[in-house]
Amino acid sequence: MMNGAPDNRVTTSSSFGRDSRAFDNREEQFETMKEDSQNLMEAMSISQQNTQECTQTLEDSPSLCLMRLVLHPEVDKAVTAFQKNALEKKGLYRIEMQMLTPRVTLGRESYVGIFDKKTSGVDPVKLSRTHCIIETALDPETHRHAVFITDKSTNGIRIDGVQVQKNKKYKLADGQKITLLSSRQGNVLLGYVAEDPHVRGAQEGTKGNQTAILADSQDKSQQGPNFQEYTLGVLFSAPLVGKDIHGKYHPIAELDVKREYSILQKSLIEASKFAKRPAAVNDLSGNNGPGTLSRIYQCPRQISVVAKFANTDTFRAMVTLGCRALHFSGHGDENHLYFEDGMGLVHPIPHKGLQELFSAGGGGESTLRLVFVSACSSAPLAYAFVACGIPHVIGVRTNQKIEDYAAIEFTRAFYLALATGKPVGASFTIAQQSVAKSPNIRGPMAVAEKFMLLPEDGDHSEIIFPLAAVESSNTINLEPMKKKRYPKLWFDDLPAMCQGFCNRSVEVYKICLALMMTQSRITRLVTICGEEGIGKTAVAHAVANYVGPRITSEGGVRIFSVARLAQDEMDEHVGMMRRNINIANGRCRVLTRLETMVTDHLKQHKARIEFNGQHMLMVMDGCDYLLRNDTRRDRFRVFLSDILTNNASLKIVLTARTSICADGAVRGHGERLYTLSKFDMKSATMMLVSLMSRPIRVEELKHARATNSTDKLELIASHPALRATKGIPKRIADLAGRLNETTMDKIQVDESDLGLME
């Protein structure tokens, strides 16, 4: 309240309390209360007038910003760095409306050269030559300058989702959303949000009494708007294959990076629930007595997580943008760190090359203080990071392997302690003790000692993520402050890899390479062929899970089961026959249903994916039903040609026993054919053993042909029961299921069918 309003209220109230006995009749009491009410209303009126004047304290001057139009947040998230830079250069990223610039015209020419249909969801051609006019003018109601917008377009503009009348001026207010272009689903493709500097300034002035105040009591120098030091960078390196000096591909051991990322997230989420309210001591004024709770909470800071697949570009970008800690999960050897090459192949980085990447990315003193190298025998990698000047590096001693459970337990405990303000050394000790005391780890004390903190003689008392001080006089809900975002690297709507999937890394790599190539021979249609049970579906799922996160975002990958649609139609036909309904003239509806599903998916996701300059991947699994006769096959080829032609960012993977182009091409698009081969007996043995729920004993391998061998794997590989599978994965999986109930020697095999298979 202003202009003495509080004094009127207090004086009136207190005088009424002291002199109440002096009023002997109700009329005098009523008149006095009426007068008091009028005084109070006058004071409130004065206060309201003063409050309104608070937003009008500045005189209108030519340079005063009356309204600011900032790029709509949905558009801002989708634009590339190049597009953002181009918008800023043209003054279209943030439009300042002043009396010095009384009019701004937005139209087609404003955005040509920044956006185009091929690389983004914004097609400037859909804008009118003069789409809208934004201008400053006197408001006839307030007699002050305001900002108005007038629609001049053919397609219309919207304010807060409502289409405005053409050629009519609309006064803009703070927070209004202006849509220039939108998708059919209503998503904003191009638009702005109006910001009134007076209103925003008033809001900022009141925020200090309502929101948490970040104050680092341990290190004042870390306060401020730049929170790079509170970023945790996460790099996952999961190449499919390596390449030897003879140019031959070999598979790379797979790491469970999905699970590792999940554990890391859970640790940070658990840490975010931590807050303590220490007892305060007496201050100089004696406001707080012994045992009085402080008005300051101590809680973890908001740690930003930046997660990427590890290659030289993402590593350099992460160092450039700055992060406080880096978690690297991947392979390496005594001389190299293994990154991805962007296509699924190992990219070995010499340890000396790490320093070059740091210097190229940092451009000065690096903010990176901690590196966690999560891999077995990662000591050489850890020492390589120490050589780069990182003061705290965690790794695993040379020639030491860590059980998955031990690694997960250590990671969970370490990041939980680190995120709750513990020093690096203390967090490391807590994590070691968590492993050493675990009842689920064999030899836990010895396992705990396998982890190492480098340099061994270094000072590890530094706190990487200091606690923040949050002022509050009451118990508060801290959760709204912790708007944590964890980037998605894998998609929830994709099928998981089938159990026992192995021995296909090279095939998966070659298909992924074809799909991810952006230069020379660009492949948009791939067919995975092979006989029944060879593993076409499993390979297609593996390709989708690997390629998808590296070329697109969630919703950009979709798997359609044509085989399931065909089975549904066959079930319907059986039902019709049982009801004596003639199906002779029934039309095949499998392709019609597939077309509808594909079209709906494209409508839902295409605009967003293409706006981000990404690709879409579709897997059509089990297409044999559509290839059985000429009519279906021709219709299917026409359908594929149409969707590939009309969707430049789309790539398609088919699975079928034969090529779709065996008797004719898909018009305008070439097919890359990949035929899967059978497993040799060594690979078949690996798959069988991985699927078994029990160990195979030597005693049940008496019928094995390798009678002179004592190696159990060789005996299994030469056993007639396994040889009868002919190296077909589905038959191997069926054999594993049967062996849960019997032994290998008891399985009847017609050895005359084995042929000359090696």
Q: What is the pLDDT of residues 273-292, one digit of tens each?
A: 877 766 555 554 545 555 55
73 and 119 belong to one structural domain: yes
562 and 467 belong to one structural domain: no
Q: What would the two tokens of residue 388 be?
A: 């780069």
398 and 435 belong to one structural domain: yes
Tell how strand 132-138 and strand 103-106 pair up. antiparallel
- Is 465 a residue whose pLDDT tops 70? yes
Residue 472 lies in a domain: yes
For residue range 436-450, list pLDDT tens digits in order.
998 888 888 998 999
In CATH, what number is assigned to the domain containing residue 532? 3.40.50
Residue 490 lies in a domain: no
For residue range 177-233, list pLDDT tens digits in order.
999 998 776 778 899 999 988 777 666 554 444 443 333 333 333 333 334 458 899
Least confident among 53-57, 316-320, 376-380: 53-57
- In the chain, the percentage of residues whose pLDDT exceeds 70 is 79
- Binned at pLDDT 50, 70 and 90, residue 56 comes out as very low
For residue range 370-422, list pLDDT tens digits in order.
999 987 778 888 888 898 889 999 998 877 677 777 888 999 999 999 999 99
Distance (Å, rounded) from C-alpha 613 to C-alpha 648?
11
409 and 442 belong to one structural domain: yes
CB of 617 closer than 8 Å to CB of 544 = yes
pLDDT of residue 582: 66
CA atoms within 13 A on the CB side of 496: 6
For residue range 525-560, list pLDDT tens digits in order.
999 999 999 999 999 999 999 999 998 887 889 999
- Binned at pLDDT 50, 70 and 90, residue 294 comes out as low
Q: Mean pLDDT of all residues in the chain?
A: 81
For residue range 141-188, list pLDDT tens digits in order.
877 888 999 999 998 999 988 889 999 999 999 999 999 998 776 778
687 and 661 belong to one structural domain: no
- Is 253 a residue whose pLDDT tops 90? no
Residue 496 lies in a domain: no
Exposure string for 80-100, b = 16+ CB within 10 A, e = fewer: eeebeebbeeeebbebbbbee
Omega prior to 455 cis, within 30 of 0 = yes
Q: Quick one: which of 336, 366, 363 has its CA closest to 348? A: 336
Q: Quick one: which of 465, 331, 323, 307 has its CA closest to 396? A: 331
43 and 78 belong to one structural domain: no
- Locate tokens 């003495």: which residue? 4
533 and 555 belong to one structural domain: yes
pLDDT of residue 14: 42
For residue range 716-739, list pLDDT tens digits in order.
999 999 999 999 999 999 999 999
∠ CA 36-37-41, nearest 5°, is: 120
- Binned at pLDDT 50, 70 and 90, residue 337 comes out as confident
CB of 569 closer than 8 Å to CB of 590 = yes
Residue 488 lies in a domain: no
∠ CA 14-17-21, nearest 5°, is: 145
Highest mean pLDDT among 396-400, 575-579, 695-699, 703-707: 695-699
- Binned at pLDDT 50, 70 and 90, residue 58 comes out as very low
CA dist list (Å): 498 to 564, 687, 729, 730: 18, 12, 11, 11
Residues 36-61, mean pLDDT to the nearest whole number: 43
Residue 212 lies in a domain: no
CB of 85 closer than 8 Å to CB of 71 = no
pLDDT of residue 587: 64
Q: What would the two tokens of residue 197 be?
A: 């500097």
Distance (Å, rounded) from C-alpha 712 to C-alpha 706?
10
For residue range 36-48, list pLDDT tens digits in order.
545 544 444 434 4
Q: Any long-range contacts for 723-727 (C-beta under 8 Å, 24+ apart)?
A: 723/681, 723/749, 723/754, 723/757, 724/749, 724/750, 724/753, 724/754, 725/684, 726/678, 726/757, 727/678, 727/679, 727/680, 727/681, 727/683, 727/684, 727/757
88 and 230 belong to one structural domain: no
Distance (Å, rounded) from C-alpha 135 to C-alpha 189?
23
Residue 681 CA to its chain's centroid (Å): 40
Q: Which of 179, 205, 231 delimits the end of a domain? A: 205
Q: Quick one: which of 655, 637, 645, 362 has its CA closest to 534? A: 655
pLDDT of residue 596: 94
37 and 131 belong to one structural domain: no
pLDDT of residue 361: 54
286 and 380 belong to one structural domain: yes
In CATH, what number is assigned to the domain containing residue 91? 2.60.200.20
Domain extent, residue 553, equals 505-510+524-666
18 and 84 belong to one structural domain: no
Longest dimension (CA), the chain: 123
- Is 11 a residue whose pLDDT tops 60? no
pLDDT of residue 609: 82
Q: Looking at residue 25, what DSSP letter applies? A: S
Q: Give every CB contact of residue 224 below 8 A, 6+ residues apart in sequence.
A: none
Q: Give every CB contact of residue 452 below 8 A, 6+ residues apart in sequence.
A: 379, 382, 394, 395, 396, 397
pLDDT of residue 589: 87
Residue 31 lies in a domain: yes
CB of 145 closer than 8 Å to CB of 126 = no
Q: Which amino acid is at 380?
A: P
Residue 671 lies in a domain: no
SS3 278: coil
CB atoms within 10 A of CB 26: 8
Residues 314-320, mean pLDDT to the nearest whole number: 84
Q: In what order do the strands lie in the sheet with 616-621?
A: 557-561, 616-621, 650-655, 525-529, 672-675
Q: What would the two tokens of residue 174 be?
A: 């703070």
pLDDT of residue 585: 55
For residue range 492-525, list pLDDT tens digits in order.
888 888 888 888 999 999 999 999 987 657 899 9
pLDDT of residue 16: 39
Q: Looking at residue 504, what DSSP letter applies? A: -
367 and 300 belong to one structural domain: yes
pTM: 0.67
Highest mean pLDDT among 106-115, 318-327, 392-401, 424-433: 424-433
- In the chain, the percentage of residues whose pLDDT exceeds 90 is 43
Q: Residue 188: what are its φ and ψ, rounded to 5°?
A: -75, 120
- Locate tokens 């036909």: which residue? 573
Distance (Å, rounded) from C-alpha 27 to C-alpha 3?
31
Residue 60 lies in a domain: no
Domain count, the chain: 5
